[in-house]
Amino acid sequence: MVLYWRLLKESFGFAISALRNNKLRTALSLLGVTIGIFSIIAVLAAVDSLDKKIKDDLSSLDKNTIYLTSIPFGPSSVEQWKYEQFPKVNYEEYQYLKAQVAHADHFSFQMIAFNREPVKHEGRTASDVNVVPVTDEFVDIQRLELREGRFFNESESNSGLPVAVLGYEVAHALFDDYDPIGKTIRLYGQRFNVIGTLKKKGGGGFDDGGDDQSAFIPVNFVRRLYGDNTQAMLPVIIIKPEKGTDMDALKANIAQKLRTKRGVKTDEIDNFFINVLSGLTDFIDNIVGQMNVIGWIISGFSLLVGGFGIANIMFVSVKERTNLIGIQKSLGAKNKFILFQFLFEAIILSVIGGAIGLLLVWTTSLILTHALDFNFVLSFGNILLGTSLAVIIGLISGILPAISASQLDPVEAIRTGM
DSSP string, 35-95: HHHHHHHHHHHHHHHHHHHHHHHHTTS-TT-EEEESS-SS--SS-HHHHTTSPPP-HHHHH
Q: Residue 65 above 70 pLDDT? A: yes
Q: Which of the two residues, 409 and 136, has the higher pLDDT score?
A: 136
| Residue 221 confidence (pLDDT) | 95
Q: Which of 49-63, 140-154, 179-193 has the lowest mean pLDDT?
A: 49-63
Confidence check: pLDDT of 108 > 90 = yes
Give pTM, 2 decimals: 0.65
Between residues 340 and 144, which one has the greater pLDDT?
Answer: 144
Least confident stretch, 101-115, 124-138, 162-176, 371-385: 371-385
Region 351-380: mean pLDDT is 82
Say whether pLDDT at 336 is over 80. no
- The pLDDT, as a whole number, for residue 207 is 45
Mean pLDDT of 67-81: 86
Burial 273-286 (b: 16+ CB within 10 A, else e): bbbbbebbbeebee
Q: Give the chain's mean pLDDT.
A: 82
Question: Measured between alpha carbons, how far is 86 from 93 in angstroms, rounded to an integer?
Answer: 14
Residue 406: CB atoms within 10 Å: 21
pLDDT computed for residue 90 by the predictor: 93
Q: Spell out the residues 6+ positions from residue 247 whose beta carbon is closer than 8 angstroms to its own.
A: 64, 241, 276
Query: Does residue 203 surpass a pLDDT of 80?
Result: no
pLDDT of the residue at 47? 79
Mean pLDDT score, 43-69: 76
Rounded mean pLDDT, 352-380: 82
Q: What integer pLDDT is reported at residue 118 of this predicted model?
A: 93
pLDDT grade for 114, boundaries at 50, 70 and 90: confident
Alpha-carbon span 365 to 375, nearest angstrom? 8
**The pLDDT value given to residue 329:** 67
pLDDT at 74: 74
Is residue 215 scored above 90 in pLDDT? yes
Interval 242-265 mean pLDDT:
90
Residue 29 has pLDDT above 80, yes or no: no
Q: Which pLDDT value is given to residue 206?
A: 42
For range 126-150, the mean pLDDT? 92
Work out the average pLDDT over 352-378. Answer: 82
264-317 pLDDT per residue, tens: 988 889 999 998 876 666 667 777 777 777 777 777 777 777 777 778 777 777
C-alpha 163/C-alpha 135 separation (Å) is 12
